[in-house]
Amino acid sequence: MSGTHSRSTVHDFFGLGEEQNHRSEFHFDGDHPELFSSADNGPTPVEVVLVGLASCLTAGVAAVAQNREIQLRSVTATLRGDMDLRGILGIDPDVRNGFSGITVTYTIDADATADEIKALVAQAQKRSAVYDIVTNPTNVTVEVD
């Protein structure tokens, strides 16, 4: 591990009143691209957030479709996060560090009308944890041990 390269491990979580474990540990590498003088050993952290958003909304589409007995043949989400790098580079204090906005575009092939598909996506959006975390303020406390 060197430079901005980091490795993350996801293992246990707490649910239904007790500690739960995933079947196996999941590992992620994160890094910054060569453009930022880094080694590009993994996606950037902001891309990881887009991955979380995509998998949350898409799992929602699958769950809602099952509830509504809609047969999905394929679901593809394309995500675009817009960012003005003057923020993160500290060049302009009026520009935020994060995305100015995110666009998610779904292409869905299913046994359903266009309106049913739109309603499916709208319901997934309404129930999504990551959509909530990204669109609304979430308190983060950072401590040093």
Give residues 30-49 in contact with a second copy (rule: CB under 8 A).
30-35, 38, 40, 42-49
Among 51, 68, 86, 113, binds a second copy (CB under 8 A): 51
* Best CA proximity match to 31, nearest among 22, 40, 21: 40
Contact assessment for residue 127 and residue 57, using Cβ atoms and an 8 Å cutoff: no
110: CB partners within 8 A, 6+ apart: 65, 70, 71, 72, 73, 75, 116, 117, 120
In the complex, least distance from residue 97 CB atom to a second copy, rounded to whole angstroms: 4
Binding to a second copy, residues 2-31 (CB under 8 A): 3-4, 6, 8, 10, 13, 15-16, 20, 22-23, 26, 28, 30-31
In the complex, least distance from residue 39 CB atom to a second copy, rounded to whole angstroms: 8
* CB-nearer residue toward a second copy: 35 or 69: 35
Binding to a second copy, residues 67-96 (CB under 8 A): 83, 85, 87-88, 90, 96
Token pair 């910054």 is found at: 32
Residue 53 touches a second copy, criterion: CB under 8 A: yes
Binding to a second copy, residues 91-110 (CB under 8 A): 96-108
108: CB partners within 8 A, 6+ apart: 61, 72, 74, 75, 76, 117, 120, 121
Contact assessment for residue 38 and residue 4, using Cβ atoms and an 8 Å cutoff: yes
